Amino acid sequence: MVSLKTKTTLRAGLMGLAAATLTSAAAMAADLQELGFATSASGGTGYMYAVAVATVVNEGSEALKITPFPSAGVIENDRLLRNDEAQLILHTGGQAYSSYRGEGKYPSKFEDLRAIMPIYASLVQMIVPAESDSKSPGDLKGKRIGLGEPGSSANTYVRQVLKAENVNDGDYDGRPNSLTEQVAGLRDGNLDALTTVMGGGAPALQDLAASRDVRWISITPETLKSVIGMNPTGAVVPVTIPAGTYPQQDGAVQTFGVPIWIMAKAEMPDALVSEIVTKFLSNLPRAHEVHPVVDGTTKDFVANAAPPVPWHPEAVKALAAMGYDTTPFTE
């Protein structure tokens, strides 16, 4: 027979254990770092790549939870990071270079901006209906061109391509549409050209090529040389989109790529930086399962990507520990 005193003691012990468990759970929840990750348009490669990064890093982690969300582009991402409305962002080399130095569209120097790792090169892609008489960017003068949303990479780099071929702002009907709006516009005949900066084989462009006869415009070496001269060293790199990347794409397309970086503030704790780098690079096959677009993070790509802003010191340590060489930052 159990006495009342024993029952009371047992009840008190169980209540104490429950309280301790709740306190421990609360402590663990308090220690969990939630990081908002500003990416790109929801149909873009950047967003899908970020989802893959977040998935593999979050799995089994008791230290952090990364939540990717779509954005209007890297200029918006930069603003969100400055204002602590995001803790991780995708950034292009050229725009990060300007932000760090307070040039161009950036109101002040962002000296706390730090590189975590380069993950892939986003490609400048210019697409027209197959029956279009436009064979080069210069032929788009007077046309209705989707430029991407203000603040997007496409809005910056495509205008540079056009300028290199003597097609200046005002010489065409530039429309700052989202990718979704551009795809619909080109499919329905309301746009003469779609332009974007995203990874090769992006699903949104796969779907477009499967439902409408379209053609990719190549960029000549002379135009590429001019664009390279408009940007900091390492901001753009020549890239070929292989034939067959998209439905009915019979020939290779010459273009250029914009290295895409994961960036954060200098105050990002070392432990979180190390976990992000190590878990993602250790689980690339898993990341590819999440999204097949994850195929651009290679040792050669990481080693050859020139950082436009200082590295986060812990990122360099984590990359080196995994056998990844890095290019030092230079002013």
Residue for token pair 């190549």: 218
Residue 27 has pLDDT above 50, yes or no: no
Distances (CA, A) of 286 to 12, 22, 109, 181, 221: 47, 33, 37, 32, 37
Identify the three-state secondary structure at position 261: strand
By the 8 A CB rule, do 69 and 36 touch?
yes
Q: Residue ranges of the alpha helices (H) in the chain?
A: 4-31, 45-58, 74-82, 93-101, 153-164, 179-188, 203-211, 221-229, 270-282, 284-290, 299-304, 313-321
Q: Tell whether the model's pLDDT for residue 54 goes beyond 60.
A: yes
pLDDT at 127: 97
Mean pLDDT of 291-298: 82
DSSP string, 144-210: EEE--STTSHHHHHHHHHHHHTT--TTSSEEE---HHHHHHHHHHTS-SEEEEEE-TT-HHHHHHHH
Distance of alpha carbon 69 from alpha carbon 48, whole angstroms = 10
Tell me what pLDDT residue 312 has: 98
Indicate the pTM of the whole model: 0.71
As a whole number of angstroms, the longest Cα–Cα distance in the chain is: 97
What percentage of the chain reaches a pLDDT higher than 90? 65
Question: Does the pLDDT value for residue 126 go beyond 60?
Answer: yes
Q: What is the pLDDT of residue 165?
A: 96
Predicted confidence at residue 23, as pLDDT, reads: 45
- Give me the pLDDT at residue 269, please: 96
Q: Indicate the pLDDT class of residue 321, thresholds 50, 70 and 90.
A: very high
Q: What is the pLDDT of residue 16?
A: 52
In the chain the domains, ranked by start, together with CATH numbers, are: 30-121+259-321 (3.40.190.10), 123-257 (3.40.190.10)
pLDDT band at 136 (very low <50, low <70, confident <90, very high): very high
Determine contact, residues 306/93, Cβ cutoff 8 Å: yes
Determine the Cα–Cα distance for residues 1 and 10; give it in Å rounded to an integer.
Answer: 14
Check pLDDT > 60 for residue 21.
Answer: no
For the segment 136-160, the average pLDDT, to the nearest whole number, is 90
> How does residue 28 score in pLDDT terms, banded at 50, 70 and 90?
very low
The one-letter code for the residue type at 321 is: A
List the one residue out of 274, 232, 238, 137 whose CA is nearest residue 192.
137
Whether 43 shows a pLDDT value over 80: the answer reads no
Residues 6+ apart with CB under 8 A from 290: 51, 52, 55, 56
* Residue whose C-alpha is closest to residue 145's, from 111, 172, 117: 172
Block residue for tokens 């790509």? 301
Average pLDDT, the chain: 88
At 30 the pLDDT is 52
Provide the pLDDT for residue 152.
Answer: 76
Could you report the per-residue pLDDT of 252-279, keeping only the tens digit for each?
Answer: 999 998 889 999 999 999 999 999 999 9
Six token digits for residue 65: 């939870």
Q: What is the pLDDT of residues 58-83, one digit of tens each?
A: 998 988 999 999 998 899 999 999 99
Residues 319, 303: Cα–Cα separation, whole Å:
10
pLDDT over 50 at 5, yes or no: no
